[in-house]
Every structure is written in structure tokens, then in C-alpha cells.
Chain A
Amino acid sequence: MAVETKIDPMHQFQISPIVGNLDGSAFVFTNSALWMIVVLACITGFMLMGMKRQLVPGRWQMAAEGMVGFVNSMVEGSIGPKGRAYLPWVFTSFIFILFANFLGAMPFAVVGAHPFTVTSQFTVTGVMSIISFAIVLGVGFWKHGLHFFSLFVPKDTPFILKLLIAPIEFISFLVRPFSLGLRPFIAMFAGHILLDVFGNFVVQGLNAGGGGYAISILCFFFVAFINALELLVGAIQAYVFALLTSLYINDAVNLH
């Protein structure tokens, strides 16, 4: 009879300390911090290799310039020529989420390392969305003063409708940082749970024998498919975060 194993998909998101312990050390170095450093090292390497400013660009330079140009055209397209000032933050958040998502989906477990998806923790994406929201608030009040509140009141609407719409707009404005941070977090969270569950099905099918082998093979291809989908979703979420950030900043800069 096959051995019953309990699937524990939440284990992969556990923060485990590498230096110190979570109970009371003054300094704790966790696996999350380690993978943030790995992501940072990869981004730094990628950008430094691409910033040699050769006259005839090589592959790295093309890749780095293409990425910067992509984000730049997105920012300028949604904010306008004034948008150049906000490119550093939008590009930083874009490339950080992109690299964190991709590094978390890489099969490092084959060589014995335990990859940790940094963006699968709401603390990380939540803080990034709070920074975006703070930029929106800061820029809005800096540029327009109290006139910034006219963002909530649509133009050319009857007075009665304005009374109705302003609170709704206000609430939807307050929900923004929450939904902005929730999106990349849950996309990674859900994808990795799916991967874990179906990866367990492969092993359990092999243990069961007989008809289990067929299920096991099916699940194996499904895991490969989900992995490809995870890469796509990771790229889309990074793109959506950067796009929404630039749209929100556009609200603050141009007020409708």
C-alpha cells in the first residue's frame, strides 16, 4: 500500500533564519533576505554588463537598453514628457519584481539550493506599493497643494452626482496601495502553491503504482506547463505594477 503523505504547500513560504533566530536575536538574516541579495546581485550584474557604452552594442547592452527603453516609453506614454523624473522608481520596481519572480521560479532545487520567491511575501510587495502611493501623495500635494483633492471630483457633472461620486472616488483611491501590492503577491503565491501541489501528485502517483503512473506522467507535463505559465505571469505582474504605478503618478502630476 502506498504511503500517505500530507501535502503541505505553505511550507515553501516559511521564513527561516540563517543567522540568529526569530525569537529574540538582535540581528536575523533570513532566507528572504538572502534571496533579496541574490536578486540585487543579478540585477546589478545585468545592468553593469549592459552599461559599457560600446559604440556597437553587444547582446547585454541591447538587452539592458531594450528594458530601460520599454519602461521609459511606458512612463512617457502615460505621464507625458514630465514623466522622465519618475522613471528611476518605476524601473526599479519593475526590474526588482521581474527578477524576484523569475529567480523564484528557477529550478535551483536540482542543485540542492532552496529558492525563495521574495515577492511571495505581502510585506515586500506591500512596502513597494506603499512607496508608490507615497510618491503619488507627495507629488500631488507638492505640485497642486490642496487643489489635489479635485482629483476626487469629476468635472462637468451635476452637483448631486458629484456628491455621490466623490466618496466613491475617494475610497477607490484609498484601496489603490492595497490592490497594487496584493496583485504581484497573490499571483506568485497561487502559482507556487499550484506547482507544489502538482509536484506532490507526481510523487504520490509514482508511489501508488498501477494507474498512478499515468496520473504521474500527466501531472509532470502539467507542472512543466504551469512553470511556463508562471514565467509569463511573473513578467505580466511586473509590467502591470510598473504600468499602474505610472498611471497613478500621472493622476498626481496632471490631475485628470
Chain B
Amino acid sequence: MDLEAAKVIGAGLAAIGVGAAAAGVGIVFGSFLQGALRNPAAADGQQGRLFIGFAAAELLGLMAFAVAMIILYAI
């Protein structure tokens, strides 16, 4: 296998992580909605925590994307 083909395969494998982060972000917002619908009065106070969880889950997906981009363009 030459380097060019290996690079593309590696970038594709790295992109799997983005899908996993999508599941993570979905879990964050889904759990927030579950809690918020049970106690809507307390929901607004927890929005900061919601976005912290969202940011943490999203960052890992973005890292997978960064790895894919590094493989494709920087190596």
C-alpha cells in the first residue's frame, strides 16, 4: 500500500471519532431535556452546566476531526 492510500484510509478511520462525539452531544442534550421536562422550573438554572457538558463532548469530536485533517494535509 502506498502512502497516499494509507493516508486516506487513516483519515477515514479518524472520522469515526466524529460520529462517536455526535452520539455524546446527543446524550448530553437528551439527558438535559429529560431532566428539564420533569422539572421545568429548575431547567434555566442548569443551562451553564448543559453547555459545559456540550463543550466537553464536542471537543473530543473536534479532536478526531483535527487528527483527520493532520493526516490528510500535514503529513
Contacts and interface: CB of A to CB of B under 8 A. Distances in A.
B66 A182 contact: yes
B65 A186 contact: yes
A78 B55 contact: no
A107 interface: no
A190 B65 CA distance: 8
Contact of B51 (A182, A187, A190, A236): A236
Contact of B59 (A182, A189, A193, A247): A182
B49 to A, nearest CB: 10
Contacts of B73: 10
Interface majority SS on A: helix, strand, loop or mixed?
helix
B43 to A, nearest CB: 15
Interface in B54-68: 54-55, 58-59, 62-63, 65-66
A247 B52 contact: yes
Contacts of B65: 186, 190
Interface residues of A, number: 18
Contacts of B52: 240, 243-244, 247
B59 A74 contact: no
Nearest to B18: A190
Interface majority SS on B: helix, strand, loop or mixed?
helix
Between A182, A186, A187, the greatest number of chain B beta carbons within 10 A of the residue's beta carbon is seen for: A186
Contacts of B48: 74, 77-78, 243
Contacts of B63: 182, 186
Contacts of A239: 51
Nearest to B48: A243
A236 B62 CA distance: 14
A190 B58 CA distance: 12
Contacts of A254: none
Given A10-B73, A190-B65, A183 B59 contact: yes
A190 B59 CA distance: 12
Interface in A180-201: 182-183, 186-187, 189-190, 193
B51 A243 contact: yes
A134 B69 CA distance: 30
B51 A240 contact: yes
B55 A183 contact: yes
Interface of B: 48, 51-52, 54-55, 58-59, 62-63, 65-66, 69, 73
9 contacts: A74-B48, A77-B48, A78-B48, A186-B63, A189-B69, A236-B54, A240-B52, A240-B55, A243-B55
Given A183-B58, A183-B59, 12 more contacts: A10-B73, A182-B63, A182-B66, A183-B55, A186-B63, A189-B69, A190-B65, A240-B52, A240-B54, A240-B55, A243-B51, A243-B55
- Of all A-B residue pairs in the complex, the 9 with the closest CB atoms, nearest first, are A186-B62, A240-B55, A190-B65, A183-B59, A186-B66, A240-B51, A179-B59, A243-B48, A243-B51
